[in-house]
Amino acid sequence: MSDNCFAGYNLREELLLALQKKGFTLPTPVQEKVLALDSFDLDLIVRAKTGSGKTLAFLLPMLQEMDLPESNPKILILSPTRELAQQTAREAEWISRYMDISVATLVGGLDMAAQIRSLKEGAVIVVGTPGRTLDHINRGTLRTANIHSVILDEGDHMLDMGFKDELEGILDSLPDRKRTWLFSATMPREVRELSTKYLSSPLFISLVGEEEGNEDIAHKAYLVPSRYRMEGLVNILLWERPKRGLIFCHTRLDTMTVAQRLSESGFKAGSLHGEMTQRERNAVLASFKSGQLPLLVATNVAARGLDVEGVTHVIQLGLPDDRDTFVHRSGRTGRAGHEGINILLLSPQESTKFKYMLGSAKVPVEWHNVPDAEAIGKIQKEITEEKLLTMKEPDDRESYLAWAEDLLTRVGAKDLVARLLWSLSSKRSTGYTLSAELDREIRRKSRRPADEGQERSFKSRRPKGTMLRLGKGLADGWDVGRVLSAVCTSLHVDRSEIGAIRMKDDHVLVELLPMALSRFNEDCRGLEQRGLLEAGAGKGALLFSAPARPRRSADGPRARKWERS
Ligand code: ADP
Ligand code: MG
């Protein structure tokens, strides 16, 4: 056996057998790096691109060291989403199948009693989402005394999703753990902060250059007219013809509208979002995985970390929240060495912002205008011809020839072929003509270059939101992009819910549109955690409702400056 086979790593028989049964012979690079460590008794931070096999990279060493028999919780794996936790639990189950240990999955939305039962019955590996896991710890149903290893999977996303308090609560309740391993595809500041606080002199293994993406993925950006995004999506689907496509939207409502519109256009599409019951989510995922449902429209959160084989296309509608989201979403395709295509649909206006967002990242993006009905028609014709010309001969050729001869005495040959071709062509939409509208928008944009500097301006409209004053400014190293991204993440809103952003040296004014305002009123802790808002400041940081009384703001007459054109 060559050295880099699993067999070359002194793994225990039970693990080798499970790997062999699964057909895995070579470790992926990240697995190789972790398995090659002299000792697993240390804190570890692993940064590797999505789809690189991180799950086994932590499961194999953990199981390698386990004394058997065992019937107490020893290993706790925390995942950002229910789906990911379930997926990791399934991976833990097959890899440990010859070790006679069991796995408990602790996720919200599923029966508490069943989870308590699986813990009572002696689960050794516990995989959970932070909220539900902490809940079990607080109720005493998950006993932590024996847990020696904690794995924070997709650490960056757990923090994005606002699980900081839960994570800290869990880690604080495990003071005697032997090791904490943090896995993540990206390393934003919040993750570094968490690791400084909870990991002790961790070893850092990185398999990605700071700006490197996943080279199995081709990135394409299509420009679509902003008012015809759905029509643009239909055209792109007809053009790219994804075998299995995952479409990302910003909100739950978007996922439902888009899936509905696609169904109306003749595509089979389902939606996946956080407000579905777990049973509904599992059902739609199962049909997507089985290939019954070739298109799945999902929110970012719902699709994070999902490992579905054979996703050929990831399609992102509109501007991703930030560069990390873009990288993570595209990581749903091109997994485990398969090539994938990552498509972004942007309006001309958004395209400038996207280029700005990519910054210095070395992600090669091909730019295209949305294909028009004419080009789509041409390719559909070619496909139909191809189907016809490469078709295999009918079994009883003679009788079909006789049938054809008979028909030809009744219908003209041209007419007959035309009807047959029509019956062979796809009954889907043939696409929309969008080029004229797109050209208009591109021209409009070049007349008025997007202001990507230190302002996010009102563009000739009067402000209609509520101003929020945040306590950090240019002097603290903040800029428009960072503020926008932090506010959207903290309040769990889309960029379209944020209006103008006006940077000052020591503070910044942000216009909250109604949804963002209501989220802010519900919970502004995210902004406090990011140091943008003083603890307890709450509504005190709201300045005024601009359209009603623009001049009575804390900023006095300067409020006029909001109306830039
Ligand atoms: P990540 O967590 O890095 O995004 P996963 O652990 O989910 O990636 O792995 C991605 C896919 O690759 C999974 O389907 C997994 O079963 C498969 N995989 C992992 N390790 C190997 C291996 N050594 N050989 C073949 N396939 C593997
Ligand atoms: Mg993973």
Where does residue 318 fall: left (phi above 0), alpha (psi -120 to 50 degrees), or beta otherwise? Answer: left
Atom 24 of ligand 1, residue of closest alpha carbon: 24
pLDDT score at 338? 53
**What DSSP line would sit under 371-434, residue for residue?**
PPHHHHHHHHHHHHHHHHHTPPPPTTHHHHHHHHHHHHTTS-HHHHHHHHHHHHS--S------
Residue 550: pLDDT band (50, 70, 90) is very low
Atom index in ligand 1 nearest the CA of residue 331 equals 4
What is the per-residue pLDDT for 295?
A: 96
**Arithmetic mean of pLDDT, 266-273:** 91
- What does the pLDDT read at residue 557? 33
Q: What are the structure tokens assigned to 403, written together?
A: 């049938």
Tell whether 233 and 168 lie within a shared domain: no
**Do the bridges between strand 466-470 and strand 508-512 make them parallel or antiparallel, or are there none, so unpaired?**
antiparallel
Residue 298 makes CB contacts below 8 A (sequence gap 6+) with 246, 247, 248, 249, 255, 271, 272, 273
Atom of ligand 1 nearest to the CA of 153: 2
CA distance 159 to 191: 7
Residues with CB under 5 A from ligand 2 (ion): 54
- The answer to whether residue 429 is domain-embedded is no
Tens of pLDDT along 212-238? Answer: 445 567 889 999 999 899 999 999 999
The answer to whether residue 417 is domain-embedded is no
Query: Six-digit token pair at 345?
Result: 């649909």
Going edge to edge, which strands form the sheet with 455-456? 455-456, 498-503, 508-512, 466-470, 542-545
Q: State the Cα torsion 79-247-241-332 to the nearest 10°.
A: -20
Question: Of the bound ligands, which one is closest to the alpha carbon of residue 6?
Answer: 1
Between residues 556 and 295, the one the model is more confident about: 295
**Across 383-411, average pLDDT:** 88
pLDDT above 90: residue 207 = no
User: Does residue 262 register a pLDDT over 50?
Assistant: yes
The rounded distance, in Å, linking the Cα atoms of 459 and 467 is 17
Q: Are residues 31 and 111 in the same domain?
A: yes
Distance in angstroms (rounded) separating the CA atoms of residues 330 and 221: 12
Dist CA 357 CA 57 (whole Å): 31
Task: Tell me the pLDDT band of 564, cut-offs 50, 70 and 90.
Answer: very low
Quick one: 197 and 223 in the same domain? no
Q: Among 25-34, 98-107, 254-263, 269-278, where is mean pLDDT lowest?
A: 269-278
Task: Give the three-state DSSP class for 245.
Answer: strand
Same domain, 230 and 138: no
Has residue 537 been placed in a domain?
yes
Look at 194-203, 235-244, 535-544 and tell me which has the smallest mean pLDDT: 535-544
Q: Which residues line ligand 1 (CB under 6 A)?
A: 24, 26-28, 31, 48, 50-56, 307, 335-336
State the total domains in the chain. Answer: 3
Q: Are residues 123 and 49 in the same domain?
A: yes
User: Which amino acid is it at 223?
Assistant: L
**Averaged over 331-353, what is the pLDDT?**
76
CATH of the domain at 30: 3.40.50.300
Output 447 or 278, whichever has higher pLDDT: 278
Nearest to 256 by CA among 163, 379, 247: 247
Q: Is position 419 within any domain? A: no
Instruction: Let me know whether 32 and 153 are in one domain.
Output: yes
> Are 46 and 189 in a shared domain?
yes
Distance (angstroms) between ligand 2 centre and the Cα of 99 equals 23
Nearest atom (ligand 1) to Cα of 28: 23
What distance in angstroms lies between residue 70's CA and the mean position of ligand 1's atoms? 26
Tell me which residue range forms the domain holding 107: 5-206
Average pLDDT of the residues in 302-312: 70
Helix (H, G, I), strand (E, B) or coil at 479: coil
Among residues 206, 241, 260, the one where a domain terminates is 206
SS3 string, 199-213, reads CCCCEEEECCCCCCC
| Same domain assignment for residues 195 and 259 | no
Q: Is the predicted pLDDT of residue 49 greater than 90, yes or no?
A: no
Rounded to an integer, the average pLDDT of 272-293 is: 87
What is the predicted pLDDT for the residue at 4? 65
Cis, peptide link before residue 547, omega less than 30° from 0:
no
Q: What are phi and psi of 321, to 5 degrees?
A: -60, -40
pLDDT tens digit string along 9-21? Answer: 889 999 999 999 9
Amino acid at 139: R
Residues contacting residue 440 through CB under 8 Å, at least 6 positions apart: 225
Distance of alpha carbon 230 from alpha carbon 226, whole angstroms: 9
Per residue in 413-440, pLDDT (tens digit) is 999 988 888 887 766 677 888 988 999 8
Does 181 share its domain with 271? no
Q: What is the pLDDT of residue 431?
A: 85
Does position 560 have pLDDT exceeding 50, yes or no? no
Element spanning 181, H or E: strand 179-184
State the DSSP code for 469. Answer: E
Res. 302 pLDDT band, cuts 50 70 90: low
> Is residue 443 one of the residues assigned to a domain?
no
Which of these three, 374, 400, 416, is where a domain ends? 374
The pairing of strands 295-299 and 245-249 is: parallel
C-alpha 335 to ligand 1 mean position (Å):
8
Phi, psi dihedral angles at 7 (to 5 degrees): -60, -20
53: nearest Cα among 70, 31, 69: 31
Ramachandran angles phi, psi of 37, nearest 5°: -65, 145
Distance CA 315, CA 247 (A): 5
Mean pLDDT of the 25-53 span: 91
Sheet containing strand 365-369, edge to edge, reads 269-272, 295-299, 245-249, 313-317, 340-346, 217-223, 365-369
Q: In this structure, what DSSP letter does residue 506 have?
A: S
For ligand 1, atom 18, name the residue with the nearest CA.
Answer: 53
C-alpha distances in Å from residue 27, one per residue of 20, 33, 207? 12, 9, 14
**Overall average pLDDT of the 355-366 stretch:** 76
Give the sign of the dihedral formed by CA 471, CA 474, CA 478, CA 482.
Answer: positive
Question: What confidence score (pLDDT) does residue 459 get?
Answer: 41
For the chain, how big is the Rg over CA atoms in Å? 27
Query: In this prediction, what percent of the chain has a pLDDT beyond 70?
Result: 86
Whether 32 and 175 share a structural domain: yes
* CA–CA distances in Å: residue 485 to residues 98, 244, 346: 46, 30, 18
* Per-residue pLDDT, 506: 86
**Which of these, 183, 451, 220, 204, lies nearest to 326 by C-alpha position?**
220
Distance 26 CA to ligand 2 centre (A): 18
Q: Classify residue 440: in a domain, yes or no.
A: no
Per-residue confidence band for 379, with pLDDT thresholds at 50, 70 and 90: confident
Q: Which ligand is nearest to the CA of 28?
A: 1
**Residue 476's pLDDT is what?**
81
Do 265 and 370 lie in one domain? The reply is yes
Residue pLDDT, tens place only, 50-86: 788 999 999 999 999 999 899 999 999 999 988 899 9
Contact 321, 41 (CB under 8 A): no
Q: Which atom of ligand 1 is nearest to the CA of 55?
A: 6
Q: Are 540 and 502 in contact (CB under 8 A)?
A: no
Average confidence (pLDDT) over 40-53? 90
At CA 355, angle to CA 353 and CA 361, rounded to 5?
130
pLDDT of residue 22: 94
- The 8-class DSSP code of residue 36 comes to T
- pLDDT value at position 332? 59
Average pLDDT for residues 233-255, to the nearest whole number? 91
| Structural contact between residues 40 and 132, judged by C-beta atoms closer than 8 angstroms | no
Query: Residue 318 domain-assigned?
Result: yes
Is residue 140 scored above 90 in pLDDT? yes
What pLDDT, on a 0 to 100 scale, did the predictor assign at position 553?
Answer: 38
* Domain limit, last residue, from 374, 389, 413: 374
Q: What is the per-residue pLDDT for 278?
A: 80
Residue 408 lies in a domain: no
Mean pLDDT, the chain, whole residue set: 83
Residue 106: pLDDT band (50, 70, 90) is: very high
What's the confidence (pLDDT) of residue 172?
94
- Please tell me whether residues 224 and 135 are part of one structural domain: no
